[in-house]
Chain A
């Protein structure tokens, strides 16, 4: 069994490193010091950890003001509340105002499992992606999370990064270099392309293994940046054949939609979008829910077979 990691560790280590290097970096939280794994950051930089309490609208507004004052805020809070509760502030105070504020949506997707749909964040990519000027990143493992956090600091404007609490194996090797807006092909293939991101990338890789044993050659692309999407990577996939997208998100407006927007505009091919099919999840652990919605290796492999048949 491969070792699995909580991406919040890489996130917190990187944020602390950034804060050491750059005096302008501050963290802004909504009473989420523990859940954002920022206790160490607070110990190291007590003045630069701003806790506004349980008040997400204020949190994002304050971050916009901090940026006006010349600081570089990283806003860290449970993704469901950060995006849902403060969406108008994200739109007006950050994106429309062109503020360099970075949003770290913790425990995104269905990581909160049994806590239910109120705490699931399966609309965050659609919501943030719909706003002009946003960069939206869904990292797959600790290496990519760390690099996304680091690159966010130098990417102009607001950046939304999902930071999962679901333990994931490393899907990238040590030499991996993440680039904003650049997809990476993790597995070559010739029959079909699985485009995944976030905590489902390793499931997509495992699905490709299973398909390989059946003689189906499936490429796997990690599309960590949903906006701006890597159009060239999508076109290359479409030239190869059908596309299956896999996301821990509603199929309305997320990765699948972003890929489809490019496909219909360039080289139409058959697609299947895997994700949460527009319903509120039933009770269950995160792992259970991923299986329930067919987002683990067996479900992904079955969807690929169905698409090819």
Chain B
């Protein structure tokens, strides 16, 4: 029987800091990555893996596991760091991030990395896949749940809205979409590019139960995830209000840190800011 870890808030916050620190080290070592988006979703990933997801790191393909799909595949460093932190593979493997022939590609590959559910990277792919997993669970009378984390900019991809329509049509109340709503996409703010607001209303009009939450408040995230499904017969959309680059003063809410790489000095400063304050 699989169960979630249900760790306390402070422990989860510490895991999130570890994920942030590991992500930045990986980006620095590889000279590649997407630090802004990694830091943005660290608290969400930590909450999922250390409180919500019923998964077994020793049996990553367990048929009854909850499915977590990272649709914003460019945040692969954060996902790998979270998986290592949760024990799916040793943390030393993170040193291979984007190195030649490493299983840790710039975007996750499920056939190479334990715990990865889908090979994402092209945007707008995660939600359709998640609709399929949630539907597959229901067709088989299985109890496991599906979670998918999307970026906000990626909601400009129309495939998400195809999937959203089908999720509500199929009444997939074991499907939860989490939007990492940091307001920034690669080149500018989402609202200056192609506006997403009113985002909650849009999801509601597509048949979702919508909850808005501070995506860096572990306690608030736990509270939302403990109430799933928010409405029976409806899929849930959690709009997690986040700050891109959260946790490092000179990275957060800065558009250029979408895929800027920290220098050695910047890395040291960032790691110092992310010291365990507990």
Contact = CB atoms under 8 A, between A and B. Distances in A.
Most central of B120, B131, B146 by chain A CB within 10 Å:
B131
Nearest to B63: A70
A93 interface: yes
A47 to B, nearest CB: 6
Interface string B123-134: 011011111111
Interface in A38-69: 47-48, 50, 52-53, 55, 57-58, 60-69
Interface stretch (B76-84, B163-171, B246-254, B267-275): B163-171
B119 A61 contact: no
A9 interface: no
Contacts of A13: none
Given A62-B128, A65-B135, A66-B133, A92 B162 contact: no
Contacts of A48: 139
Interface string B15-34: 00000000000000000000
Contact of B163 (A61, A63, A88): A61
A97 interface: yes
A69 B133 contact: yes
B67 interface: yes
B128 to A, nearest CB: 2
B136 A97 contact: no
A126 B159 CA distance: 24
Interface in A64-102: 64-71, 73, 88-89, 92-93, 96-98
Contacts of A96: 109, 119
A69 B159 contact: no
A285 to B, nearest CB: 33
Interface stretch (B94-102, B110-118, B218-226): B110-118
B137 interface: yes
Nearest to B142: A69
A48 B119 CA distance: 25
Most central of A53, A64, A68 by chain B CB within 10 Å:
A68
Interface of B: 63, 67, 109-111, 117-122, 124-125, 127-137, 139-140, 142, 146, 158-159, 162-163, 165-166, 169
25 contacts: A26-B139, A53-B165, A57-B158, A58-B163, A60-B128, A61-B128, A61-B131, A62-B129, A62-B166, A64-B128, A64-B129, A64-B132, A65-B118, A65-B132, A65-B134, A65-B146, A66-B133, A68-B136, A69-B133, A69-B137, A69-B142, A71-B140, A73-B132, A92-B120, A97-B119
CB-based closest 10 A-B pairs: A65-B132, A69-B136, A61-B128, A58-B162, A55-B162, A62-B132, A65-B133, A57-B159, A65-B129, A97-B119
Given A64-B128, A65-B128, 7 more contacts: A48-B139, A57-B159, A57-B162, A58-B131, A65-B133, A71-B136, A93-B118
